[in-house]
């Protein structure tokens, strides 16, 4: 696995459990996972397997019950909420199944949100938002509201938003789940292109065809990684 590339994510014995009355439910039972820079990883598994919980922990939206998480060399388990917000803002870009665009804001205003929290000025924000909308081929829709965009266009706006702060990692949670097959393929091609340019992409999906875009697949069952395969040559 180690071919000299930088390790971006290192999970050591990550456990997540929920207490329900006097019962303890273990959702993740000691996950060990290492992701290197430039990987395209698909996390698969049936619903209830714990893949979403793993995704939330990787995305710093949730904290593990025990275990260590190193992101880009930082021991993030030790960070407080404010520091976690900063890491989310700077180093992680989220893409959601339901897009989660704010309906009252135009496309570019949605894209600039992470930059607001990064503390950039308005002209710089507008310029970057425009630049990344161009990258997802939506520059002429800059001033459109989400309601005036198709599903595929919405997801591309969301991808522009995930990219705008130039993060190390894109976390995509069922990015094609709300799209038809053809649009889904276009979105996957966009993500593949981003990966080719060097972005590390971690994607949760339950669709094998979608997972096929990734070079490495892991399967989670009952809170444990049951399969971890890497294709030596990507099938174009």
- Residue of 167, 140, 161, 136 lying closest to 71 (CA atoms): 167
Contact flag: residue 90 with other proteins (CB under 8 A): yes
Shortest Å distance, C-beta 85 to other proteins = 4
Closest CA to 174 of 100, 108, 109, 224: 100
Contact flag: residue 6 with other proteins (CB under 8 A):
no
Q: How far is the CB of 64 from other proteins (least distance, A)?
A: 13
**Residue with Cβ nearer other proteins (81 or 236):** 81
x/- mask, other proteins, residues 48-77, rule CB under 8 A, reads --------x--x-xx---------------
Nearest-angstrom CA–CA distance, 3 and 233: 15
For position 17 contacting other proteins by CB under 8 A, the verdict is no
Which of positions 129-188 make contact with other proteins (CB under 8 A)? 161, 165
Cβ(225)–Cβ(218) below 8 Å: yes
With vertex at residue 49, the alpha carbon angle to CA 46 and CA 53, rounded to the nearest 5 degrees, is: 120
Q: Please, what is the minimum distance in Å from the beta carbon of residue 124 to other proteins?
A: 13
Total residue count of the chain as it appears in this document = 236
6, 8, 7: which is closest to 170 by C-alpha? 8
Q: Name the site residues for other proteins (rule: CB under 8 A).
A: 56, 59, 61-62, 81-82, 85-86, 88-90, 94, 96, 100, 102, 104-105, 113-114, 116-118, 122, 161, 165
């Amino acid at each position: 696995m180690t071919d000299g590339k930088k390790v971006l994510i290192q999970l050591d014995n990550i456990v997540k459990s929920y207490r329900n009355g006097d019962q303890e439910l273990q959702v993740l039972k000691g996950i060990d996972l290492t992701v290197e820079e430039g990987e395209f990883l698909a996390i698969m598994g049936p619903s209830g397997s714990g893949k979403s919980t793993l995704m939330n922990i990787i995305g710093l939206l949730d904290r593990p019950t025990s275990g260590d998480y190193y992101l880009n060399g930082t021991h993030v388990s030790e960070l407080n909420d404010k520091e976690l917000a900063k890491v989310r803002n700077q180093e992680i870009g989220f893409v959601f199944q339901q897009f989660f665009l704010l309906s009252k804001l135009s496309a570019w205003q949605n894209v600039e949100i992470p930059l607001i929290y990064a503390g950039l000025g308005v002209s710089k924000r507008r310029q970057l938002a425009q630049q990344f909308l161009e990258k997802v081929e939506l520059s002429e829709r800059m001033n459109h509201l989400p309601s005036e965009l198709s599903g595929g266009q919405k997801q591309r706006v969301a991808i522009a938003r995930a990219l705008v702060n130039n993060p190390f990692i894109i976390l995509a949670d069922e990015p094609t789940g709300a799209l038809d097959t053809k649009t889904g393929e276009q979105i996957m091609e966009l993500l593949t292109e981003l990966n080719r340019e060097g972005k590390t992409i971690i994607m949760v999906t339950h669709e094998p065809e979608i997972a096929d875009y990734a070079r490495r697949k892991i399967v989670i069952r009952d809170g444990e990684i049951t399969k971890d395969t890497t294709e030596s040559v990507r099938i174009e």
